[in-house]
Amino acid sequence: MVSRRRLEDGDFEAWQQRFEAGAAARKAAGCRGVRRFRGIEDTQELVVIFEWDTIANAKAYVNLKVAENPELLGAREGSGDPKLANIFVEEMEPLAS
């Protein structure tokens, strides 16, 4: 699953603490690993790549988090895009360069 998130200004440290504190819950829900990326030009823009054991577990976890925080689906200031967007993907065979 690929997750794109737009934080509010000054919220990165708080988000990072919350996200890291949730590692055990993600693991228990079937998450096998996480890679995080932060925007260079816009440091409030995050891309997080999750590896899940099953797509069903990934969707269940996302539904749980959205139920706990419905504001995640609210619009970003000035764009109308949601603050959080998730894309459920499956990895393809890697290519050399």
Asked, for residue 93, whether it belongs to a domain, the answer is no
Q: What is the pLDDT of residues 33-86, one digit of tens each?
A: 999 999 999 999 999 999 999 999 999 999 998 888 887 777 666 666 778 889
For residue 95, the model assigns a pLDDT of 95
Q: Contact at 8 Å (CB) between 69 and 5?
A: no
76 domain residue, yes or no: yes
> What pLDDT was estimated at residue 39?
95
Q: What is the CATH number of the domain that holds 45?
A: 3.30.70.100
Q: Report the sign of the C-alpha dihedral through residues 50, 54, 55, 57, in that order.
A: negative
Asked, for residue 92, whether it belongs to a domain, the answer is: no
Other Cβ atoms closer than 10 A to 36? 13
Place of tokens 């995080």: 36
The whole-number pLDDT of residue 97 equals: 85
Mean per-residue pLDDT, 80-94: 86
Whether residue 63 is contained in a domain is answered as yes
First-last CA distance in the chain: 23
